[in-house]
């Protein structure tokens, strides 16, 4: 009997083995308890996913600094953080023999103004989203000393993740967050050695990689999530991504995940503003990934819209010249069907039905679709099965009210720390 390529093991450059090629890709859970730490809700959610059979679970982004969160219920891991709930998180993800990596991140300018924190970025370029720009404060450019401090913070968070028992980390360098802001010429207008040429714009990422690799053991997995493109005219493009991946091949990186887009151009939701052919219903970054993987020394993982077994198998089986995508990241589909991997393995399911919001305002519809996924994560975290809300609008309003409560809680915590 022929084994599906989805269920073959993969040995990474550092010797770590993923038991199959299906990964639960990162989705920000927005479930942090007071103090921005994980609690039983997150532990329960990851035990549920671990039981579902994925070879790899990648957490939603964990922030390297308490003053820079992508949302009011984001998790933070830095010096002084209690590691006990993180140890339980790692154990939950490893419960059935799979690996768990912590995605680590700094949002840069993509910080909500309501959180009351100063916003920083590579340069002082504000977020521009029609009708929503006021939700983000204009950033100021980071100083040299602050950049060095952030490099050290990434390394320290990675070291703490290893101490807590995680199998690896994923450096978030995509979706318009801080490292992505350094990479893009649209958001990086610096004239020092952190800006200008692609080599200079990528320096921050490479310094973070080197600092992390020097702070963790050889067997600890270090990966990068990178945009295949940010889908904005004049921004970070596919040729840029190819060059960065090629350079990462010499930095002891064990895997690169390719995605795309940012808050301003949310291609990761399958809605690219320029209407190019990659805006497909499923696997809309696979073509980019195959092109980049053809010359890569590093295993490539691709994430973006995968929800059916046939599409997933095609993405792995039809690599060019036998070289191509090694791992598939599945995100929203695992929110709606947490047993997806075991169901595909046993032939119990072929595709996941994910509700789409078809409002005229495509950007707001995309956000509402994300909220529907958040709703599923909360149900799973509370020990309940997935259930689609009757109204996307009511789910969106409920999410807004929760965000206000979380924001008040976060600001109270920050005031107490100060």
pLDDT of 315 reads 84
pLDDT of 269 reads 47
Number of neighbouring beta carbons within 10 Å of residue 297: 11
Between CA 155 and CA 10 the distance in angstroms is 26
Quick check: helix, strand or coil at residue 158? Answer: helix
pLDDT of 77 reads 98
pLDDT in tens, the chain (418 residues): 567 889 999 999 999 999 999 999 999 999 999 999 999 999 999 999 999 999 999 999 999 999 999 999 999 999 999 999 999 999 999 999 999 999 999 999 999 999 999 999 999 999 988 878 899 999 999 999 999 999 999 999 999 999 999 999 999 999 999 999 999 999 999 999 999 999 999 999 999 999 999 999 999 999 999 988 677 777 888 889 999 999 999 888 999 999 876 666 654 444 444 443 333 456 667 878 888 888 888 999 998 788 999 989 888 876 555 557 899 999 999 999 999 999 999 999 889 988 888 888 877 888 888 899 999 999 999 999 999 888 899 999 999 999 999 999 999 999 999 8
Question: How far out from the chain centre does Cα 157 lie?
Answer: 16
Between CA 388 and CA 372 the distance in angstroms is 7
Which domains occur in the chain, in start order?
Answer: 5-352 (3.20.20.70)
What's phi and psi for 220, nearest 5 deg?
-80, 125
Place of tokens 């993405």: 315
Region for 310 from its dihedrals, namely left if φ exceeds 0, alpha if ψ lies in -120 to 50, beta otherwise: alpha
Number of neighbouring beta carbons within 10 Å of residue 201: 23
Is the CB of residue 178 less than 8 Å from the CB of residue 147?
no
Between CA 369 and CA 363 the distance in angstroms is 10
Q: Give the closest residue to 60 by CA, choosing from 119, 101, 117.
A: 101
Q: For helices 238-248 and 286-293, what crossing angle results, to 10°?
A: 50
pLDDT of 356 reads 83
């Amino acid at each position: 009997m022929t084994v599906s390529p989805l269920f073959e093991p993969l040995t990474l450059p550092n010797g770590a083995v993923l038991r199959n090629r299906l990964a639960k890709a990162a989705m920000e859970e927005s479930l942090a308890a007071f103090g921005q730490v994980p609690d039983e809700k997150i532990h329960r959610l990851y035990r549920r996913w671990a039981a579902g059979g994925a070879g790899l679970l990648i957490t939603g982004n964990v922030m390297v600094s308490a003053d820079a969160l992508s949302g009011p219920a984001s998790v933070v891991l830095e010096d002084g953080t209690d590691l006990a709930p993180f140890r339980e998180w790692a154990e939950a993800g490893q419960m059935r023999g799979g690996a768990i990596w912590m995605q680590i991140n700094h949002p840069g300018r993509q910080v909500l103004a309501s959180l009351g924190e100063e916003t920083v970025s590579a340069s002082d370029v504000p977020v521009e989203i029609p009708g929503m720009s006021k939700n983000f404060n204009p950033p100021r450019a980071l100083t040299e000393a602050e950049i060095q401090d952030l490099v050290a913070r990434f390394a320290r968070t990675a070291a703490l993740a290893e101490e807590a028992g995680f199998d690896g980390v994923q450096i978030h360098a995509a979706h318009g967050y801080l490292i992505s802001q350094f990479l893009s010429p649209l958001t990086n207008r610096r004239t020092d050695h952190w800006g200008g040429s692609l080599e200079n714009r990528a320096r921050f990422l490479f310094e973070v990689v080197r600092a992390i690799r020097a702070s963790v053991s050889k067997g600890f997995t270090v990966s990068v999530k990178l945009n295949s493109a940010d889908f904005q005219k004049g921004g970070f493009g596919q040729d840029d991504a190819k060059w960065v991946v090629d350079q990462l091949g010499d930095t002891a990186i064990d895997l690169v995940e390719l995605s795309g887009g940012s808050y301003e151009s949310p291609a990761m939701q399958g809605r690219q503003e320029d209407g190019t052919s990659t805006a497909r219903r499923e696997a809309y970054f696979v073509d980019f990934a195959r092109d980049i993987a053809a010359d890569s020394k590093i295993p490539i993982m691709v994430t973006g819209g995968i929800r059916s077994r046939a599409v997933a198998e095609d993405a792995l089986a039809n690599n060019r010249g036998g070289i191509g995508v090694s791992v598939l990241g599945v995100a929203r589909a695992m929110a709606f069907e947490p047993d997806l991997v075991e169901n595909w393995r046993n032939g119990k399911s072929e595709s996941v039905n994910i509700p789409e919001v078809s409002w005229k305002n495509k950007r707001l519809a995309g956000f509402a679709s994300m909220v529907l996924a958040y709703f599923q994560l909360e149900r799973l975290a509370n020990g309940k099965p997935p259930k689609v809300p009757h109204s996307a609008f009511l789910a969106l309003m409920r999410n807004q009210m929760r965000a206000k409560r979380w924001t008040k809680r976060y600001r109270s915590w920050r005031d107490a720390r100060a």
